[in-house]
Amino acid sequence: MDLLALPKTELHLHLDGSIPLELTWQLMTEYGLNPRPTLEETERLLTMQPEDEASLLAYLDKFSYPLWITQFYENIQAATIAILDRLAGLGVTVAELRYSPIVHTYAGLTVRQAIRAVLSGMNHARAAYGMQVGLIVIAMRQHGPHIAKILARQAIAEGQQFHTRSGVVGFDIAGAERGNPPSLFREAFLLARQGGLGLTVHAGEDEGPRAVWEAVDELGARRIGHGCSALQDTTLIQRLARDRILVECCITSNYQTGAVARGTRHPIFRFLEQGVPVAICVDNATVSRTDIVHESELVAEEVGMEEVARIHREAREFSFINPAGSPPGDHP
């Protein structure tokens, strides 16, 4: 089986962490914002290096530089197109991008414009490749519950049910987990659910299984981003399997952030053994210096190509992109 040709589903890919290096360098140069004199030196600022500390905060620090150029509508649009062009070349047929629009408004864009810039770029992929695409809006934990509610309303206003082409399909929280438990964002997720958005939560990446429990029980998440610490709680694993709550697994990223200790087996394989639905995801293609083909290869090395094909096929069923005749966010 040809892994490159295999139709693949990408459910957890951050836009600002996946902008191709060449495009970031080009835009930085055009604006006179390049922090280093060469692309090679700048690459070290934008990507994880072997000597970088394995921590979530060190990983998140890599996001600061792309923000220099993603404050303008046409740049966000161009970044979206470049990312989806690459995904199409890697055999991705279903792609959900996610980002926090509010951190792209420092130069004067409104939140709505920051969302619409991505949707405009997504429409290119729909037209060029027939790719199914959708946007997940993220509220950053450190911005607090009130900003999250504002973003939930903005996300609903641009929901896929109001668009003939690409729209917002889901809602998420991300950022530093410690000190920002999911339960704080209960009202924002209630709004998002009532507005027809699919719900996913970054949880269990830098906190224990309690964060995953809260994401499921208090926020109503149907998918969990990372969820690595769920392995510490057998009852939780059983719950995820019973209720068919999918875990978006990002292998390379998890080792780089320290969510999974290097040299240990990645949780995706235990999830598979216990019947928990999983998706093979990239997280941040540029920051992690990886792609969906490489991540799929890492899984295939242990479980084989047929199982990887099944994972990608099943992951499509958990996508928040509205299938014909089904209410948004109402599946699987």
Instruction: Give the active site residue among 96, 158, 205, 207.
Output: 205
Instruction: State the pLDDT at residue 53.
Output: 80
Q: Is the pLDDT of residue 329 over 70?
A: no
Q: What's the pLDDT band for 33 if we cut at 50, 70, 90?
A: confident
**8 A C-beta contact, residue 90 and residue 143:** no
Tokens representing 211 are 């964060």
Average pLDDT, the chain: 94
Tokens representing 299 are 């899984």
Lowest mean pLDDT among 10-24, 50-64, 76-90, 309-323: 50-64
Q: CATH number of the domain at 8-317, please?
A: 3.20.20.140
Nearest Cα neighbor of 222 from 96, 318, 134, 98 is 318
The per-residue pLDDT for range 145-162, each reduced to its tens digit, is 999 999 999 999 999 999
Instruction: State the pLDDT at residue 330.
Output: 42
Which alpha helices (H) appear in the chain, and where do they start and end?
21-31, 39-46, 56-60, 73-89, 111-129, 145-157, 186-194, 209-217, 234-242, 251-257, 267-273, 285-288, 292-303, 305-317
The per-residue pLDDT for range 284-317, each reduced to its tens digit, is 999 999 999 999 999 999 999 999 999 999 999 9
Q: Which amino acid is at 226?
A: H
**pTM attached to this predicted model:** 0.95
Known catalytic membership, residue 22: no
Mean pLDDT score, 50-72: 88
**8 A C-beta contact, residue 277 and residue 246:** yes
CB count in 10 Å sphere of residue 87: 26
